[in-house]
Amino acid sequence: MGLVKSKSTSTDGMEIQCLVDLNPLPEELLELILSWVPAQTLVTRCRLVCCRWRDLIDRPTVWKLQWERDPRMHDAIEAAHRCPRMDCRRVGVLRPFGRNLIKNPCGTEQFQHWVIQHGGNGWRVEENRQHVEGAEAQTCFASSYVWCVKSQLIDLLKEGFPEELMDTCQPDVIICDWWGAREDCGCRYKIRVELLAADWSVIAEFNANPEPIPQWNNAQYQKVSHVFRSYGPGVRYIQLWHKGVDTQFWEGHYGARITNSTVLVKLSPEPLRSPTRVFFSLPPKHIPPRSRSSRWRKILK
């Protein structure tokens, strides 16, 4: 095993096939060659070639060589250094660091991925009235004359973050949200973000209730941001809620506009001085059945 087949075409149009046996190559050279293969192909195809290839791909060297060529994977290299037992295959395929973990942040897929609580005339997706720099789309969620709520749950393990990394390194969790009003109608906005354990207990939380935007404004978006740092071990989920309403009680969709909701996980510049470990966490199947509904009642108040 370990044969590589390539195809080329000669000057007279004939197809030429060539088989190369990579097994005689020294380990260091084979690791370098494998590091140029896309991550998904490494895991789903190359790993099945033979035991030698499988063992090389299961070790971090191939992945570190690949990540060193990609500036976006700097956090992955640092994570592998801080957590030597980290599953580099999973991190390499899912690439969790530095990407927005909120799905459909601007409403381009309507309400896909969001849990919606409609109030008044409910939520509606509209074009932005003012440009939001850096947003993936210039659309927003518009609320109504009764509080409209939406939430999204992020499963950190499914997104590719290893348990050991979350427990010992506790990377920064960066929250960012944009909200604004129509020119002719004021609005109110609230946001709540929770870092949750496997049993849904709250490890850390952030709440913001900014001053309402008055009627007759410039329709500019305002930014709400927060960084969770050194929050403790055991975080497995991130839950984001936000809600909006107008101040005039007008029928229609005159309430807060919300867009470009962002949750990023990045390693802190400096590692924790005294890393802590979690030796047991309650599996998700034992979630208390009333824990989520009680939190909904709290956010709807």
- The distance of Cα 105 from the centroid of its chain, to the nearest Å, equals 11
Residues 152 and 286 in one domain: yes
Pick 238 or 49 by higher pLDDT.
238
Whole-number pLDDT of residue 281? 37
Average pLDDT over residues 265-277: 67
- Domain of residue 269, CATH code: 2.60.120.260
Same domain for 249 and 285, yes or no, is yes
For the segment 209-221, what is each residue's pLDDT rounded down to a tens digit?
999 999 999 999 9
CA distance 165 to 85: 9
Choice among 2-6, 62-66, 125-129, 199-203 with the minimum mean pLDDT? 2-6
Burial 189-216 (b: 16+ CB within 10 A, else e): bbbbbbbbbbebeebbebebeeeebebe
Query: Do residues 47 and 54 touch, judged by C-beta distance below 8 A?
Result: yes
Average confidence (pLDDT) over 184-195: 97
Shared domain for 68 and 170, answered yes or no, is no
pLDDT at 300: 52
65 and 159, same domain (yes or no): no
CA–CA separation, 276 and 268 (whole Å): 16
In a domain, 159, yes or no: yes
pLDDT tens sequence across 153-179: 999 999 999 999 999 999 999 999 999
| Structural domain includes residue 291 | yes
Q: Which two tokens stand for residue 157?
A: 């393990």
Q: 82: domain range?
A: 19-94
Residue 24: predicted pLDDT: 80
Q: Are residues 141 and 187 in the same domain?
A: yes
Q: Identify whether residues 242 and 122 lie together within a single domain.
A: yes
Is the same domain home to 152 and 65?
no
Residues 287 and 171 in one domain: yes
**Strand (E) or helix (H) holding 181:** none
Question: Are 78 and 265 within 8 A, CB to CB?
Answer: no
Which of the listed residues 63, 94, 125 is the one where a domain comes to its end? 94
Question: How does DSSP classify residue 73?
Answer: G
Structural domain count, the chain: 2
Residue 243 within a domain? yes
pLDDT at 285 over 80: no
Whether residue 67 is found in the same domain as residue 197: no
- CATH number of the domain that residue 77 is part of: 1.20.1280.50
- Is residue 109 assigned to a domain? no
Burial class (CB in 10 A: 0-12, 13-18, 19+), 99: middle
Report the alpha-carbon distance of residue 159 to residue 10 in Å, rounded.
Answer: 45
Same domain, 55 and 131: no
> What sections of the chain are H helices per DSSP?
27-34, 39-44, 51-58, 60-68, 74-82, 88-94, 156-159, 163-164, 291-300
* Tens of pLDDT, residues 90-144: 999 999 998 999 999 999 999 999 999 999 999 999 999 999 999 999 999 999 9
